[in-house]
Amino acid sequence: MPITDAKLATLKYFTASGLRGTLLLGTGICTMAYAGAASAQTAPQDEVVATGIRQSLENALVEQRQADSLVEVILAEDIGKLPDQNLAEVLENITGVQITREAGVGTGVQIRGTDENRIEINGVGTVGAGNERGGISFEDIDASIIAGLEVIKAPEAKTTEGSVGGTVNLRTIRPLDLKETLASVRIQGEHSSLSKTTTPRVSGALGKKWENASGQEIGVVLSGSFTQSDVSAFRPRLDRDNPTTCSNGSTTCPDGATHFLGVQFLNQVQINQEYETLNLAGSIEARPSENMKLYADVIYNDQERRQESSRVQVSNISRLNGRSDGADGIWSTFDTFDTFDLGVVEGANGPQDLGSILAVTSGTFSPQQLTDATVDRGAPFLRGSMDSGSRLTESSVVRFGGEYEKDALTVGVEYSTVSSETVNPNLSLTLNFINPNSDRFGTRDENGTPIRFDLRDGIAFGINFDDPFAPTVEDLLNPANYVMDNGGTYSANVRENSEDTFRIDASYDFDTKFLKSVDFGFRHNNRTSLRDNRSASAGGTSNFDNSLNGAAIADLLTAIPDNFGDGTGSDLFLRDILHFNPELAVDAESFVSTINAAIASEGITQSPISTVLVSDELAFFDVEEKTNAFYAQANFEHGVFRGNVGLRYIETDFSSISNERVFDDVGNPSTNQVDGQSSYNFLLPRVNVAMDVRDDIVLRGAYSKDINRPDFTFLTAARTLPNRGGVNDVSRVGNPELKPEEIESFDVSASWYFAPGSVLSAGYFHKTRSSLFGDLIEQPGSLANGDREQVDIFGRDGGDVNGANDGAPCALGGVFSEDTDAGIFGSGRGVCVGDSTRFNADGETTQSGFEFAFQYSLGELEDRLGSFGWASGFGVIANYTHQKEDTNTGFINIGETRAQNIFALQGFDPVTNPVSREAATLLNLSEDSYNLTGFYEKYGLSARVRYTWRSAYRTDDLPGTSNVFDPLGFRGVAGARGQLNASASYDFTDQFTVSVDAVNLTKSDAPVYCVNEDSLLCYQGITDRRVIFGASYTF
């Protein structure tokens, strides 16, 4: 399908030669002046609003205490005083909130164990950079433009539907709340311990309110921020999902062993991401008369996230695990083994004890030579890859409206439009190292390099320079010893999202002893989402003589970073290896042109990289979703009771355009357009009750129903296929029949406000979720020789069931991916891969948990501490959450061949007693988490230390690729992890402040395991420490 003009305009970023420099006025809402203004929004009219940590915490508690529903609040002074890079880090301070990080930057927020939450700015829903539902990415918004935030855990009838855990509302400063002119600026620098760089952060704000003798008012606030960040994370990865049996008497097997797990694949991933973010916010409010208010907000975000990462892979070593003896020496020498408990997982017939399994933990691999009796390509192969994938996003939120009050009736009308346009430019290319000291087999463009590995304390591996076939450092740094691999990625995928909303909200006050008011309203919104994957042919060949030699493009090559050991603490890592220079790949068009010119100059038959980006018809979709919502809510108060009860009714119409591929009787493909239509409606009751038992004790209860709509990628017939090297990935297709998940929630809590700015609270929540989105994968079958079915696009015979191109592609299962190399499952390009789709799982899943919070400041004791009055500046904040899930969505059998082979050796026959897993997996849910913060504020000094911890959780993140992570058929398990952050500032004057903040002081690792925590280590997440220092001035 043709690409739109808007997409073409956005694609201009892909050929930019470097990061843009931007000059702007402003930022820094998170200053003391902001805290006071933000607090004024909810404080009683006769309250004197002060500044500082203690006062902002107290004001937040006042707002939470007065709310009829369960709401958590953080005000601006709290945000500005924390060492938080983005709003995800800020939200982590709230009870029941956990976050996930990418390269050390908070990107995901889980409320009560789920990512399915709604993100709003000033009550307006936002759209994300992808095709998901949640809303704007937290790393796209700098915390300095936000005056306060609230997390709504128990919705009211007027709360917009669409979340499981809760709604996050980010609030900017309201101009009419200003008490005096606001002008501030903050300048900071951020230093990363792994990137070894220092980047700028500038923020500021300007605001003023005018009023006349007649009581008319108008106010304006402008704020903004410009930040650059250079963050790094190291992620060594280990695959060992291919079992080795000991029946052949190989000397690699230890005595008495029947089988073990060898090494399948090693990958040294070094992620470096450079962020450049511009945030601008402007608000204007006017009160032309006592009973009328008008307002308008504009928020603009522009983020460039450019990746300059490297991957060095050691592949095909599984071919050597069971072959220890070669004619010219020892291919595999395994020094140590260890036994790992795979643990217990729930299955269709109850708990499945997968037992313990032996795995090699240290040793060496030596390359095969031509003189060996049995040869197999000469593994292990060494490859260096450049990853320059980026995300360039522009988003905006615009809203305007007014409120009119007449006697007992108040009416508000608002229109908002939000949009996001994203381009994901990506140029990822690989070089094969040709070891001059080792034999090369036939025409292949790869040969072996000796490797040493040690997996006893993490994942460490490098070149074994003691091996007689080892290259020298000079060999490794010689471009002539590299050839361009037969594949790569050159793409610029487009994502466009928008939502237009019109709403009318009215409230009528009643002068009765019980019924206080009735709220009612209507909301109409039109949501659109587009996916257009655009890529070019990356060329390449597996023939050595026809592959581009590195010497012809030496100016495009550079050595990988040499500081991997700084993160691992080990001297055993890969270094002095060439790869394509990701800094030069920012100008992708020029980069590709240089490669193509070299191909033409060398006179080889390797196909050039196409410079024309072509839309992937199968992956394309364009959807529109229209929703009408009506609500009515009665607000009551009588004696010690207050609250609300109401109903929300929604009706949604959904339409989509996508494409599907069909085959005729002899296997010839064609593409048809698919027009999808669906609709649904729901009635959602919501009840909130608060009981003021005493002046300082509040009990709360809530009941609600909500829905969670599927991501747009789940809802259409559009299909994505694995890339050239993605034979172990799966094809993903949507399901137009998918319906929203339904959620029924119940909450109870008790809060004791025993001192100013202090609270002790406990709560319980229970959620019942039905129609969860399950993931069903049909795995490709295997031929008698272990290969998969193929129809080779180059016309060579492939392993098809009844011969080449028999008209029945993938008759044994899966779906045909014509551009994917068969890899270890055959030869050539074109192979059957797994076929994944979503469905509404049967049964009900429950999530329940307890939340505890404690907050106390010694400030109230200042007069009683006497000479120890300085100690009154101390305070503490603590919270703990325990939650559990009871998933009941049915079970599906593990179908991946290599996983089946392992489980068969463990006693689980894939036919009579297969290992199974839940059809739907709740990701990113930790059973236990806590935060502990200590702070001190007195004599101009403000300091705090915060330690946060969460237990293990399941994840689908796979470093170095975009694939879903499911080792041995199960989602990976991120290990328990804690992080220590700290900050300090000193007020030299009432206007001038210096500060220093530190993120991840202890540089805590983030390991990920296969199947269960502390079983097989799959990869490590090695993170950096970031220090932010600077000064602020309030005029």
Domain borders along the chain are 235-265+310-386+427-488+536-593
Tally of residues, the chain: 1035
Contact indicator for 420, 395 with CB cutoff of 8 Å: yes
**Prediction pTM value:** 0.88
Closest CA to 951 of 113, 151, 165, 236: 113
Q: How many Å separate Cα 153 from the centre of its chain?
A: 22
Q: Say if residues 757 and 57 touch (Cβ distance below 8 Å).
A: yes
- Highest mean pLDDT pick, 20-34, 439-453, 753-767: 753-767
Distance in angstroms (rounded) separating the CA atoms of residues 749 and 217: 41
In this model, does residue 344 exceed pLDDT 90?
A: yes
- Count CB-CB contacts under 10 A for residue 406: 9
User: What single string gives the DSSP state of each residue in 678-699?
Assistant: EEEEEEEEEEEEEEEEETTEEE
Q: Residue 964: which pLDDT band, with cuts at 50, 70 and 90? A: low
Q: What average pLDDT score do residues 700-728 get? A: 89
Q: 517 phi and psi, to 5 degrees?
A: -165, 165
Mean pLDDT of the chain: 85
Cα–Cα distance measured from residue 313 to residue 438, given in angstroms and rounded to the nearest whole number: 18
Q: Say if residue 7's pLDDT is above 90.
A: no
pLDDT of residue 36: 34
Cβ(453)–Cβ(361) under 8 Å?
Answer: no
Mean pLDDT of 450-459: 94
pLDDT band at 389 (very low <50, low <70, confident <90, very high): confident
- Place 806 in a pLDDT band, splitting at 50, 70 and 90: very low
pLDDT at position 24 is 27
Average pLDDT estimate for 87-109: 86
> What residue has token string 């003189």?
371
In the predicted model, is pLDDT for residue 798 greater than 50?
A: no
Comparing 234-243, 455-464, 482-491, 744-753, which segment has the lowest mean pLDDT?
482-491
Confidence bin at 382 (pLDDT 50/70/90) = very high
Q: Is the pLDDT of residue 255 over 70?
A: yes
* Overall average pLDDT of the 573-583 stretch: 95
DSSP labels for 461-475? EEE-TTSTTPPPHHH
| Maximum average pLDDT range among 206-220, 775-789, 945-959 | 206-220
pLDDT at 324: 52
Q: What is the pLDDT of residues 66-81, one digit of tens each?
A: 999 999 998 876 444 4
Q: Please give the backbone phi and psi of residue 33, each rounded to the nearest 5 degrees, phi first.
A: -65, -35
CB of 816 within 8 A of CB of 733?
no
Q: How many CA atoms lie within 13 A of 214 on its CB side?
A: 7
Q: In the predicted model, what is the mean pLDDT of residues 288-301?
A: 96
pLDDT for 783 beyond 90: no
User: What is the tally of helices (H) and strands (E) in the chain?
Assistant: 9, 57
Question: What amino acid is encoded at 903 in this protein?
Answer: F
Comparing 634-648, 691-705, 813-827, the range with the smallest average pLDDT is 813-827
Q: What percent of the chain has pLDDT over 90?
A: 53
User: Under the phi-then-psi rule, with left for phi > 0, alpha for psi from -120 to 50, and beta for the rest, what region is 877?
Assistant: beta
Beta partners for residue 490, in sequence order:
427
- The answer to which of 145-149, 265-269, 667-671, 706-710 has the lowest mean pLDDT is 667-671
**Hey, what amino acid is at 325?**
D
Residue 380 preceded by cis peptide, ω within 30: yes
Q: Which of 840, 839, 820 is nearest to 830 (CA)?
A: 820
pLDDT at 244 over 90: no
Identify the pLDDT of residue 848.
96
In sign, the C-alpha dihedral spanning 402, 406, 407, 411 is negative
> Is the per-residue pLDDT at 1008 higher than 60?
yes
- Percentage of the chain exceeding pLDDT 70: 88
Taking the C-alpha atoms of residue 609 and residue 605, their distance in angstroms, rounded to an integer, is 12
Residue 472 has pLDDT above 60, yes or no: yes
The answer, yes or no, to whether residue 123 has pLDDT greater than 70, is: yes
pLDDT of residue 539: 62
Characterize 703-717 residue by residue with b for buried, 16 or more Cβ atoms within 10 angstroms of its Cβ, and e for exposed.
bbbbbbbbbbbbbbb
How are beta strands 167-171 and 118-121 bridged, if at all? parallel
- For the segment 883-912, the average pLDDT, to the nearest whole number, is 87
pLDDT at 807: 47
32-40 vs 53-66: helix axis angle to the nearest 10? 20
Does residue 397 have a pLDDT over 60? yes
Residue ranges with strand state E in 41-125 = 71-75, 97-102, 105-111, 118-121, 124-125
Q: Average of pLDDT values for 301-312?
A: 92
Other residues' Cβ atoms within 10 Å of the Cβ of residue 24: 14
pLDDT surpassing 50 at residue 292: yes
Q: What is the predicted pLDDT for the residue at 186?
A: 92
Region 109-129: mean pLDDT is 94
Q: Is the pLDDT of residue 3 over 60?
A: no
Contact of 967 with 105, CB cutoff 8 Å: no
Facing residues of 777 across strands?
A: 836
H or E segment at 227? strand 217-239
- Contacts for 46 with CB less than 8 Å, ≥ 6 apart: none
Give the pLDDT band of residue 51 (cuts 50, 70, 90).
low
Dist. CA 789–CA 1032, nearest whole Å: 65
Q: For residue range 515-531, what is the model confidence (pLDDT) as tens digits?
A: 999 999 999 999 999 99
Higher pLDDT, 735 or 540: 735
Query: How many other C-beta atoms lie within 10 A of the C-beta of residue 963?
Result: 15
Burial of 502 from C-beta contacts in 10 A (0-12 / 13-18 / 19+)? middle
Which has the closest alpha carbon to 27: 142, 148, 169, 175?
A: 142
Write the CA distances from 527 to 286, 496, 863, integer angstroms.
30, 11, 58
Between CA 556 and CA 581 the distance in angstroms is 6
Phi/psi of residue 36, nearest 5 degrees: -65, -45
Q: Give the least confident one: 272-286, 377-391, 393-407, 794-808.
A: 794-808
